[in-house]
């Protein structure tokens, strides 16, 4: 028997730094690179940047990353039939609705903002809490407008409830309107006596990128948005619980209690910044070469401007070069402007676009600068049309025409079109020898076009008539005013009223139908299966169908 | 346009280790050897990334010369791991050998400091050493092993700006070790092996508007008391040699059970969060491999040897997260028992007889629900290698390939839709393209190409089941052959935009290598200091066999395994060479 036992003691190298002596395992689990808490004002900035819907006809350039504009759906303008694709490689005009915008994570930030405000001196009524009510109303109602019933009362509880039940669309709308009422009341208190808000950081608004922390301005937004939401419910205006006409009348009838936007300077709008490349307008000179001809104007929009002999056509579009150069029509004749039918087969549209048969977007306004135009989220012109519509529908007494005219004039003013006078139009028409780009104004033909409000307004299609004709006129003008603004509003209005006529065909797909709703988030199918199935069964025959009809459209 | 960036990374990793070796024999039968030891790892990492995109004075590379505000981010991480481990090799005379290892780690790189143990065990026995075998069996060995693999939350590599909040250059931000603060290029990854902080909730910040900082709360939920992920491997096999080693056969079977993993599981967004980290999801991978080697001819001048190898594996979902009957995966949904290499994508809408249903404009309808397109894994792969030796010459060649499996050829999709693939200018498509060119701009011309399939002739719109994509109102649809002409580029770009049109088989074979060599005769070298000398020429990747001409440009060597879609690839390199080999 042989026994071998070899023991090697390897040299033990001890290298203990001072820090490692003091450290413990538990200290090292924490990530010191990120904050464990941020202030309410930083969260507010985050919520506001998540809230915006921007035009992005330029599709996604690298600087318009999803991080910067998380909820910008790249097809809002397509589904509004304003500005459409002509080549399948880059996009198409189909109504292939996806799950739409998902604001639940943003609402988690709203909750965090409220609790940080309360923890940092905010009283029971404080600016963040009032803003929080507005955000809840805005985000929940928007998600419901897109999908129908959605989780609300059981939502936002994290691990405490991983399978929130759905609330009916009616419940979401009732609650949203109640939040807006309450937000208005809180803001009234805070404006009258800021000390109500408490003391410290949580008592004063900070981080506002739109109004410089002015609660007075936000109160106007709250009420203006409430008018929008009431209008969205027009098909259920007879519902006794919602009581849409009475709510509408009480707001219109009491401007002291419910201040509304007074002019375009009150617009809730996103202003682009020429010095920060992540805040450029989605279309700007550097990308004109790659994206400038992927899309052209839609006939739904251009045809309407044409029908109304509307001078805004010279600001937003350019004449078809085919009409001007080949058929020798005047570039400022309305008939020289032509949009493409969104229902058109893309192969045909591509061929026609190559032949310059269509109007392209106005390059001076939308491509020659880095700032384009501010993107209106909730605006004064829309408010005017919404009030006119409510009055037209008999919800309140008043003169619908006054609001109708104010809306049109505010929209024209946003394009710098004078009521009476001369408007200078710029159409991109570089000489063959030109080596400069879309930013160089010498590459544009300029035309002085005389505009006259009374001539415009005296047209039969424009001059306000009461009743159904008047309603259609209001909705048409609202559609025109919403070009490149307010996300899906134009689509929602079409869905609710059928105005203006949207076109269908092979290009829009979905069996020649305009889809009526967005899908539920894909995660509901696997993560909240039972409630998801219940919601589908109670609303859409068990199928998550983009052509299903939600309660507010019944 | 002068810019300046500084990417600074400091890593300090200190391991203090104690080892004890042993080797012990009992009665000439049992031998035990191995080691026991302990290790303490103390890790720290610091990095910073500073950049400016413009300098005031050209050529002065100093941050003080920056025209715009400097953009900077920094990162630091610390980790401690205390470990104890052993290894044991035991041999039981001629009957068996057994080896075993085990390690216990206490790590800080987790949700909370976590201690975990992972063992391995393997056993082998040469049966022919102690059991009388039939004469033709020269050698027989059986083997089996078991191991368990666990790991903490660390990452092998790290990028320049972890958890970056820089938005000025349009790059990525967020809770990732790999954030690229620039909107172009790839980042340089360096070795790291430190904590990734994936299980710790925190707020994040960025500057989305006007350089103003915005804060965001986490979008993740964390199950409390998460355990390390686990993988258990079993392997069994034998090696046998027959007829005095002229024929060899070895076979292995394995089972890998992965899970419960640390799963970033999507939760209903209405919870206010997008992801829950929890211990869930179990998959099982089973595989077999057989290799056969033979020496069919062996004489003094000439010999021929063959090696044949065959292997396959499949992986299945064994357990989904609790409460879930389906799991979103690879563009579709899977259930327990489904393969993990299933992939889903856009597909045509077809009649019950399989014909494509077209829109009124003559282009195919696309199903709004992703359809199952195939399995990415091969059914099996194989290799055959032959080697011949005649006197001083030798000649060898090897074929290999795999059978089964599909993938979406993304390059085919992009080149056809973009009009640069040859098939968009050939055959019927090419003829239609010529007509489109001849008739360009003619009023009323609507193309020439008529795609295959049918159209719906009674104007009824199909309604799709949102789960399966089946047409719910199929019985009310009437079909007629498609006669609608279309512009070819429009047709091609909509047809080939559908994943199904770019689906390719992954069955291929290749002549991998041919070698031809010569060994210089020994007697030539007798008087020199060189003991052997050989020269050979070889060619690699010489022939590629693929059944479908449309997809033969794809080098399937680059898409072995579970890849369901091609990417931008480098071409296969066919190489030739000459080898001289001298030994002294």
What's the rounded Cα separation, in Å, for the pair A223 and A218?
9
Cβ contact A523–B274 (<8 Å): yes
For chain A positions 513-552, those within 8 Å of chain B (CB to CB) are: 513, 519, 521-529, 532, 536, 543-547
Query: Is the pLDDT at A70 greater than 80, yes or no?
Result: no
A412-429: pLDDT as tens digits? 999 999 999 999 999 999
Residues A222 and A112 in one domain: yes
Q: Among A31, A60, A85, A136, pick the best mutation site for testing chain B contact (most B Cβ within 10 A).
A: A31
Inside any domain, residue A530: yes
User: Shortest Cα distance from A160 to chain B (angstroms)?
Assistant: 9
pLDDT band at A271 (very low <50, low <70, confident <90, very high): very high
Average pLDDT, chain A: 91
B195-212: pLDDT as tens digits? 999 998 889 888 889 989
Residues A327 and A357 in one domain: yes
Inside any domain, residue A90: no
Residues A506 and A524 in one domain: no
What's the rounded Cα separation, in Å, for the pair A443 and A9?
84
Residues A325 and A358 in one domain: yes
Closest partner CB to A46 (pick from B23, B202, B215): B215
Mean pLDDT lowest among A94-103, A204-213, A235-244, B445-454: A94-103
Q: Is A27 on the interface with B (CB under 8 A)?
A: yes
Cβ contact B108–A29 (<8 Å): yes
Residues A114 and A243 in one domain: yes
Predicted pLDDT at A376 = 96
Inside any domain, residue A68: no
Closest partner CB to B267 (pick from A162, A509, A536): A162
Inside any domain, residue A265: no
The residue in chain A having the minimum alpha-carbon distance to the alpha carbon of residue B470 is A543
B366-397: pLDDT as tens digits? 999 999 999 999 999 999 999 999 999 999 99
Q: Among B270, B441, B446, pick the best mutation site for testing chain A contact (most A Cβ within 10 A).
A: B270
Q: Model ipTM? A: 0.90
Cβ contact B108–A25 (<8 Å): yes
Q: Averaged over B228-243, what is the pLDDT?
A: 95
Inside any domain, residue A94: no
Residue A205 structural domain: 101-260+519-554
Query: Is the pLDDT at A318 greater than 90, yes or no?
Result: yes
User: Shortest Cα distance from B570 to chain A (angstroms)?
Assistant: 24
Q: Residue A88: list chain B partners with CB under 8 A.
A: 417, 490, 493-494, 497
Q: Averaged over B560-581, what is the pLDDT?
A: 86
For chain A positions 337-356, those within 8 Å of chain B (CB to CB) are: 345-348, 350-351, 355
Inside any domain, residue A95: no
What's the rounded Cα separation, in Å, for the pair A184 and A218?
9
Task: Mark residue A471 as left, alpha or beta (left: phi above 0; alpha: psi -120 to 50; beta: remaining).
Answer: alpha
Domain count, chain A: 2
- The more confident residue out of A71 and A21 is A21
Residues A506 and A528 in one domain: no
Q: Averaged over A334-342, what is the pLDDT?
A: 97
Residues A499 and A523 in one domain: no
Predicted pLDDT at A165 = 98
- The more confident residue out of A328 and A34 is A328
Query: Is the pLDDT at A228 greater than 80, yes or no?
Result: yes
Predicted TM-score of the model (pTM): 0.90
Query: Is the pLDDT at A43 greater than 80, yes or no?
Result: yes
B447-503: pLDDT as tens digits? 999 999 999 999 899 999 999 999 999 999 999 999 999 999 889 988 999 999 999
Q: Averaged over B168-181, what is the pLDDT?
A: 84
Predicted pLDDT at A520 = 95
Query: Is the pLDDT at A71 greater than 70, yes or no?
Result: no
What's the rounded Cα separation, in Å, for the pair A182 and A169?
20
Helix (H, G, I), strand (E, B) or coil at A445: strand
Q: Which helix (H) or strand (E) holds B385?
A: strand B380-390
Closest partner CB to B170 (pick from A63, A92, A350): A63
Residues A161 and A301 in one domain: no
Q: Averaged over A137-164, what is the pLDDT?
A: 97
Cβ contact A157–B472 (<8 Å): no
Residues A154 and A213 in one domain: yes
Inside any domain, residue A165: yes
Cβ contact B209–A49 (<8 Å): yes
Predicted pLDDT at A5 = 37
CB atoms inside a 10 Å sphere around CB A409:
16
pLDDT band at B319 (very low <50, low <70, confident <90, very high): very high
Q: Is A4 on the interface with B (CB under 8 A)?
A: yes
**Annotated domain spans of chain B:** 111-147+230-298+311-340, 406-583
Residues A307 and A252 in one domain: no
User: Shortest Cα distance from A224 to chain B (angstroms)?
Assistant: 24
Q: Residue B173: list chain A partners with CB under 8 A.
A: 67
Q: Residue B270: list chain A partners with CB under 8 A.
A: 104, 150-151, 154-156, 164, 521, 524, 528
B79-120: pLDDT as tens digits? 999 999 999 999 999 999 999 999 999 999 999 999 999 999
Q: Among A19, A65, A511, pick the best mutation site for testing chain B contact (most B Cβ within 10 A).
A: A511
CB distance A394 to A237 below 8 Å? no
pLDDT band at A4 (very low <50, low <70, confident <90, very high): very low
DSSP string, A116-167: HHHHTTB-SS-HHHHHHHHHHHHHHHHHHHHHSSB--TT-S-GGG-SSPPPB
Tokens (6 digits) for B216:
């965001």
pLDDT band at A23 (very low <50, low <70, confident <90, very high): low
A245-262: pLDDT as tens digits? 999 999 999 999 999 999
Q: Residue B358: list chain A partners with CB under 8 A.
A: none
Predicted pLDDT at B1 = 54
The CA distances from residue A33 to A18, A21, B196, B219, in Å, are: 22, 22, 11, 17
Q: Which residues lie below 8 Å from residue B521, measured CB to CB, with a gap of 6+?
A: B392
Closest partner CB to B203 (pick from A5, A28, A36): A36
Q: Is A130 on the interface with B (CB under 8 A)?
A: no
Cβ contact B219–A108 (<8 Å): yes
The residue in chain A having the minimum alpha-carbon distance to the alpha carbon of residue B162 is A33
User: Shortest Cα distance from B438 to chain A (angstroms)?
Assistant: 13
Inside any domain, residue A393: yes
Residues A231 and A291 in one domain: no
User: Shortest Cα distance from A255 to chain B (angstroms)?
Assistant: 33
Query: Hey, which bits of B299-341 come out as E strands?
Result: 302-319, 327-329, 332-334
Average pLDDT, chain B: 92
Q: Residue B168: list chain A partners with CB under 8 A.
A: 276-278
- Give the CA-trace dihedral at B176, B177, B178, B181, to 10 degrees: 80
Predicted pLDDT at B485 = 94
Residue A168 has what DSSP assignment? Answer: P
Residues A174 and A108 in one domain: yes
Q: Residue A31: list chain B partners with CB under 8 A.
A: 77, 163, 195, 197, 200, 202
Cβ contact A88–B175 (<8 Å): no
Predicted pLDDT at A276 = 86
Predicted pLDDT at A365 = 97
Closest partner CB to A543 (pick from B108, B221, B466): B466
Predicted pLDDT at A67 = 32
Q: Residue B223: list chain A partners with CB under 8 A.
A: 159
Closest partner CB to A108 (pick from B217, B266, B494): B217
Query: Is the pLDDT at B536 greater than 50, yes or no?
Result: yes
Predicted pLDDT at B567 = 84
């Amino acid at each position: 028997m042989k026994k071998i036992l070899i023991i090697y003691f390897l040299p033990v190298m001890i290298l203990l730094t001072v820090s490692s002596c003091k450290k413990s395992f538990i200290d090292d689990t924490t990530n010191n690179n990120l904050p464990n808490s941020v202030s309410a004002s930083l969260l507010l900035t985050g919520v506001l940047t998540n809230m915006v819907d921007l035009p992005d006809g330029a599709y996604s350039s690298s600087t318009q990353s999803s991080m910067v504009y998380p909820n910008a759906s790249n097809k809002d303008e397509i589904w509004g039939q304003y500005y459409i694709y002509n080549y399948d490689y880059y996009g198409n005009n189909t109504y292939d609705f996806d799950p739409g915008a998902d604001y639940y994570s943003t609402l988690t930030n709203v909750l965090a903002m409220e609790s940080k405000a309360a923890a940092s001196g905010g009283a029971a009524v404080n600016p963040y809490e009032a803003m929080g009510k507005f955000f809840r109303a805005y985000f929940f109602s928007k998600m419901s407008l897109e999908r129908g019933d959605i989780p609300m009362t059981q939502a936002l509880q994290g691990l405490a409830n991983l399978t929130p039940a759905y609330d009916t669309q009616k419940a979401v709308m009732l609650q949203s309107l109640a939040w807006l009422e309450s937000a208005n009341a809180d803001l009234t208190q805070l404006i009258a006596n800021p000390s109500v808000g408490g003391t410290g950081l949580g008592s004063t608004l900070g981080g506002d990128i739109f109004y410089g922390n002015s609660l007075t301005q936000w109160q106007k937004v709250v009420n203006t948005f409430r008018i929008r939401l009431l209008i969205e419910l027009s098909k259920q205006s007879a519902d006794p619980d919602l009581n849409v006409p009475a709510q509408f009348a009480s707001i219109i009838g009491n401007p002291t209690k419910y201040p509304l936007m007074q002019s375009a300077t009150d617009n809730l709008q996103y202003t682009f910044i020429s010095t920060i490349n992540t805040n450029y307008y989605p279309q700007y000179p550097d990308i004109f070469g790659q994206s400038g001809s992927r899309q052209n104007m839609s006939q739904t929009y251009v045809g309407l401007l044409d029908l109304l002999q509307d001078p805004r056509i010279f600001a937003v579009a350019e004449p078809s070069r085919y009409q001007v150069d080949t058929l020798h029509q005047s570039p400022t004749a309305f008939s020289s402007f032509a949009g493409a039918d969104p229902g058109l087969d893309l192969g045909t549209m591509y061929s026609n676009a190559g032949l310059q048969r269509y109007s392209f977007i106005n390059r001076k306004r939308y491509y020659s600068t880095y700032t384009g135009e501010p993107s209106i989220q909730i605006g004064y012109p829309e408010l005017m049309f919404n009030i006119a519509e409510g009055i037209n529908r008999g919800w309140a007494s008043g003169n619908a025409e006054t609001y109708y005219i104010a809306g049109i004039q505010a929209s024209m003013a946003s394009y710098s079109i004078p009521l009476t006078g001369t408007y200078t139009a710029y159409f991109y028409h570089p000489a063959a020898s030109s080596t400069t780009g879309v930013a160089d104004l010498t590459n544009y033909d300029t035309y002085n076009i005389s505009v006259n409000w009374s001539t415009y307004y005296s047209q039969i299609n424009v001059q306000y008539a009461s009743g159904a004709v008047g309603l259609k006129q209001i909705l048409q003008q609202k559609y025109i005013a919403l070009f490149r603004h307010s996300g899906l509003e134009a689509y929602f209005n079409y869905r609710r009223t059928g105005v203006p006529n949207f076109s269908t065909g092979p290009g829009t797909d979905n069996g020649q139908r305009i889809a009526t709703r967005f899908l539920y988030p894909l995660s509901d199918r696997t993560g909240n299966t039972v409630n998801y199935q219940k919601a589908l069964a109670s609303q859409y025959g068990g199928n998550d169908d983009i052509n299903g009809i939600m309660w507010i459209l019944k | 346009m002068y810019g300046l960036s500084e990417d600074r990374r400091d890593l300090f990793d200190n391991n203090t280790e104690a080892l004890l070796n042993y080797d012990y024999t009992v009665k000439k039968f049992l031998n035990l050897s191995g080691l026991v030891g302990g290790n303490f790892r103390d890790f720290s990492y610091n990095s910073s990334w500073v950049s400016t995109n413009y300098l005031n004075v050209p050529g002065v590379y100093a941050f003080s010369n920056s025209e715009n505000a400097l953009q900077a981010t920094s990162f630091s991480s610390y980790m401690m791991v205390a470990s104890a481990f052993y290894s044991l090799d035991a041999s039981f005379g001629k009957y068996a050998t057994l080896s075993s290892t085990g390690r216990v780690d206490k790590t800080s790189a987790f949700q909370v400091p976590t201690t975990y143990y992972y063992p391995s065990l393997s056993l082998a026995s040469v049966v022919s050493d102690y059991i009388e075998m039939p004469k033709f069996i020269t050698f027989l060995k059986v083997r089996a092993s078991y191991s368990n693999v666990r790991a903490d939350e660390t990452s092998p590599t790290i990028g320049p700006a972890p958890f970056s909040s820089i938005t000025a250059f349009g790059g990525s931000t967020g809770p990732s070790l790999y954030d690229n603060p620039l909107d172009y290029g790839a980042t340089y990854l360096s070795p790291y092996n430190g904590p990734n902080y994936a299980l710790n909730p925190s707020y994040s910040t960025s500057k989305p508007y006007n350089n103003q900082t915005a804060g965001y709360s986490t979008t993740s939920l964390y199950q409390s008391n998460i355990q390390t992920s686990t993988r258990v491997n079993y392997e069994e096999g034998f090696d046998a040699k027959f007829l005095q080693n002229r024929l060899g056969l070895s076979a292995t079977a394995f089972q890998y059970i992965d899970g419960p993993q640390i799963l970033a599981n999507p939760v209903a967004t209405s919870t206010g969060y997008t992801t829950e980290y929890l211990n869930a999801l179990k998959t099982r991978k089973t595989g077999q491999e057989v290799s056969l080697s033979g020496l069919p001819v062996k004489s003094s001048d000439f010999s021929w040897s063959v090696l044949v190898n065959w292997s396959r594996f499949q992986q299945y979902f064994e357990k989904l997260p609790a409460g879930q009957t389906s799991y979103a995966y690879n563009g579709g949904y899977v259930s327990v028992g489904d393969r993990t290499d299933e992939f889903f994508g856009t597909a045509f809408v077809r009649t019950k007889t399989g014909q494509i249903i077209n829109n009124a404009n003559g282009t195919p309808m696309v199903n709004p629900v992703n359809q199952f397109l195939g399995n990415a894994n091969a059914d099996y792969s194989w290799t055959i290698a032959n080697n011949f030796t005649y006197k001083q010459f030798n000649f060898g060649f090897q074929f290999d390939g795999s059978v089964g499996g599909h993938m979406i050829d993304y390059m085919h999709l992009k080149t056809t839709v973009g009009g640069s693939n040859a098939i968009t200018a050939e055959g019927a498509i090419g003829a239609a393209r010529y007509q489109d060119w001849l008739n360009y701009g003619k009023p009323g011309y609507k193309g020439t190409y008529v795609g295959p399939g049918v159209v719906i002739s009674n104007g009824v719109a199909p309604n799709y089941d949102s789960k399966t994509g089946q047409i719910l109102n199929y019985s009310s649809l009437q079909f007629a052959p498609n006669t609608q002409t279309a512009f070819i580029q429009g047709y091609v770009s909509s047809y080939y935009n559908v994943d199904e049109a770019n689906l390719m088989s992954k069955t291929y074979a290749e002549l991998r290598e041919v070698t031809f060599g010569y060994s210089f005769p020994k007697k030539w070298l007798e008087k020199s200091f060189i003991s052997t000398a050989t020269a050979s020429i070889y060619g690699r990747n010489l022939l590629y066999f693929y059944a479908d001409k449309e997809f033969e440009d794809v080098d399937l060597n680059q898409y072995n395994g579970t890849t369901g879609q091609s990417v931008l690839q480098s071409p296969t390199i066919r190489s030739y060479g000459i080898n001289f080999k001298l030994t002294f």
